[in-house]
Amino acid sequence: MLTDSCADYLSSILSTGRSLTIVNLKDNKLWDSGVKLLPAARRNPNCKIQKLEFRDNCLSESCAEDLASTLNTNQSLAELKLGNNKLKHLGVKQLSLALMNPHCKIQNLLLYRNVLTKSCVQVLSSALSKNSL
């Protein structure tokens, strides 16, 4: 099981793995602090990751800004799986703002079991209607 203490190593791998297109980190304990260390690698212009999975990683709204930054800057990222975390309203709102950015190329976004509220779903719906996935 990977934890946030592995994030520096993961970041290095993501920065140098130019042919790496799928990163599956599901069912780990990266927590918010682990995810916060990874965006620099994902924003690297040589990063070609197309699918990124953080399902079941104890993530909260605290790391949503970093995830949103990834959506805005990684031109190859087409799929992001964030199921079974706790992104809640604020986290999904930040992701929704990133989805409205024309640079965002996400085609599949999985957010099941993230403690979403009705107003949160409305914000997400609005974002999706502005940037058809």
CA dist list (Å): 90 to 4, 60, 80, 111, 127: 22, 9, 18, 13, 14
pLDDT for res 2: 80
What does pLDDT average to over the chain? 85
Tokens at 38, concatenated: 């990874």
Please write the tens of the pLDDT for every residue from 78-106.
Answer: 999 999 999 999 999 999 999 998 888 89
Dihedral sign for Cα atoms in the order 117, 101, 4, 27 = positive
pTM of this structure: 0.87
Topology of domain 4-130 in CATH is 3.80.10
Residue 62 has pLDDT above 90, yes or no: yes
- Whole-number pLDDT of residue 76: 85
Instruction: Name residues whose C-beta falls within 8 Å of residue 115's C-beta, 6 or more positions apart in sequence.
Output: 86, 87, 88
